[in-house]
């Protein structure tokens, strides 16, 4: 028994040495087998936790883009990916960001994904001068906080909230709307953009907030007591699923609507098809699966990711990665953190979701908001809000 600590210490020392050796051999080369330069990019996103699916959607998009670049023989470089999981939470964001910052080979990052985690992580990226391109963080304030190296390829919630409000008021003809958010950076940003526009359209709005929980029974009672025509939930799918279930159990007769954070087939899977049926979902993102222009992307996505279909944010993450590759190509040999961060602002790249080009704030130029609906247990696109309101 007494010798145990010593044995333990020896085992530990051996393990450390082995790990160090393994890492050492890995970090040897900056160029791959066929003499091409290797450029490393990072990915920060939600790879664990209740809303993991959204993170996987984006990660698979990044992987697809990387596989395409690496398969292209004319490309002067190979891309390598380092993943960092922030669980979608503001607490873990800075640690996840630091992991990528500390890896000196990473020259740019796709991510972070959720608005709260982004807000918490960006000060570190700005300080390190490391470019980060979010495929999905839509809180309006993010581009006003002085994050010098922050860009996003998705329209902020001001655009989505306004379009969603117009749709709810004009097409769904709601007189009374219950606006519920999850009190997150993302949720409050979206409800904050939605409510003034609804009021401007003469719709009566009740505002309420609830932190993510499992038990929505008393909230459902409250919503039904208020008898709204439409409930708009600003939050993520795991919670909307439970809320929809609770509302169905209590016989809610109004319509349920939500934003891009809930636009995922997991919503239907977790709420059950019956509770999810008819739910409207808005998103500043098109549906790659039904867009003929994106057919090549869908095929390549399925090939790279073992048959998985692109989901919410997959296209945005793919575009962000290819826009980065476009910048690397122009920079040639001197793709460093510094040169990439200063060159990215003037990128002009035709992606599958939109043309990736930025305002000076880091906001993407021009974007459409689409409406989706759960029909027969599947999320189907209804169309662009602007067109739907006109018709």
Judged by the rule CB under 8 A, the positions of this chain that interact with another protein are 48-50, 52-53, 183, 208-211, 213-219, 221-222, 225-226, 238, 241-242, 245-246, 249-251, 266, 269-274, 377
Q: How far is the CB of 232 from another protein (least distance, A)?
A: 16
Q: What gap in Å lies between CA 212 and CA 276, rounded to an integer?
A: 18
Nearer to another protein (CB atom), residue 247 or residue 356:
247
**Smallest distance, another protein to C-beta of residue 23, A:** 25
Kindly tell me which of 226 and 389 has the beta carbon lying closer to another protein.
226
- Of 244 and 367, which has the nearer Cβ to another protein? 244
CA distances from 32 to 29, 62, 289 (A): 7, 20, 34
Nearest-approach distance from CB 221 to another protein, in angstroms: 5
Query: With 0-12 CB in 10 A as exposed, 13-18 as middle and 19+ as buried, what is 20?
Result: exposed
Name the H helices within 40-150. Answer: 52-71, 93-102, 115-128
Cα–Cα distance for residue pair 183/211, rounded to 1 Å = 6
Output the smallest distance, CB 79 to another protein, in A. Answer: 27
Query: Which residues have C-beta within 8 Å of that of residue 38, sequence separation ≥ 6?
Result: 29, 30, 31, 32, 77, 78, 79, 80
Instruction: Kindly tell me which of 127 and 218 has the beta carbon lying closer to another protein.
Output: 218
Nearer to another protein, 4 or 214 (CB): 214
Shortest separation between residue 46's beta carbon and another protein, angstroms: 10
Provide the minimum distance between the beta carbon of 203 and another protein in the complex, in angstroms, as a whole number.
20
DSSP letter for 31, please. B
The number of helices, as runs of H, and strands, as runs of E, in the chain is 14, 14
For residue 262, what is the DSSP state? G
CB closer to another protein out of 123 and 265: 265
How far is the C-alpha of 101 from the C-alpha of 81, rounded, in Å? 14
């Amino acid at each position: 028994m007494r010798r145990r600590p010593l044995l333990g210490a020896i085992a530990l020392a051996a393990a450390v040495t082995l790990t160090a050796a393994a890492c050492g051999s890995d970090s040897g080369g900056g160029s791959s087998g066929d003499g091409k330069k290797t450029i490393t990019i990072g990915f920060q996103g939600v790879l664990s936790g209740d809303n993991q699916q959204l993170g996987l959607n984006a990660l698979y998009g990044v992987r697809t883009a990387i596989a395409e670049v690496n398969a292209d023989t004319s490309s002067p470089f190979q891309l390598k990916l380092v993943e960092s999981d922030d669980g979608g939470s503001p607490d873990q964001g800075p640690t996840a960001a630091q992991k990528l910052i500390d890896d000196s080979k990473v020259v740019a990052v796709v991510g972070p994904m959720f608005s709260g985690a982004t807000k918490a992580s960006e000060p570190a990226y700005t300080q390190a001068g490391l470019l980060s391109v979010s495929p999905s963080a839509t809180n309006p304030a993010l581009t006003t906080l002085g994050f010098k190296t922050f860009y996003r390829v998705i329209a902020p919630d001001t655009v989505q909230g306004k379009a969603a409000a117009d749709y709810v008021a004009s097409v769904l003809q709601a007189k009374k709307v219950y606006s519920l958010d999850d009190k997150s950076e993302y949720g409050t940003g979206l409800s904050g953009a939605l409510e003034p526009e609804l009021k401007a359209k003469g719709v009566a709005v009740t505002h309420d907030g609830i932190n993510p929980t499992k038990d929505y029974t008393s909230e459902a009672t409250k919503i039904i007591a208020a008898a709204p025509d439409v409930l708009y939930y600003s939050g993520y799918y795991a919670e909307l699923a439970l809320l929809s279930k609770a509302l169905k159990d209590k016989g809610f007769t109004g319509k349920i609507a939500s934003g891009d954070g809930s636009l995922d087939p997991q919503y239907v899977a977790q709420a059950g098809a019956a509770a999810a049926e008819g739910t409207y979902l808005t998103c500043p993102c098109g549906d790659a699966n039904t867009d003929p222009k994106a057919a090549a992307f869908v095929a390549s996505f399925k090939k790279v990711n073992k048959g998985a279909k692109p989901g919410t944010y997959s296209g945005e993450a793919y575009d962000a990665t290819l826009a980065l590759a476009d910048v690397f190509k122009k920079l040639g040999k001197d793709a460093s953190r510094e040169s990439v961060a200063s060159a990215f602002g003037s990128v002009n790249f035709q992606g599958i979701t939109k043309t990736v080009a930025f305002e000076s704030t880091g906001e993407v130029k021009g974007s459409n908001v689409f409406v989706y609906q759960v029909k027969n247990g599947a999320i189907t696109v209804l169309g662009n809000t602007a067109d739907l309101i006109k018709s």
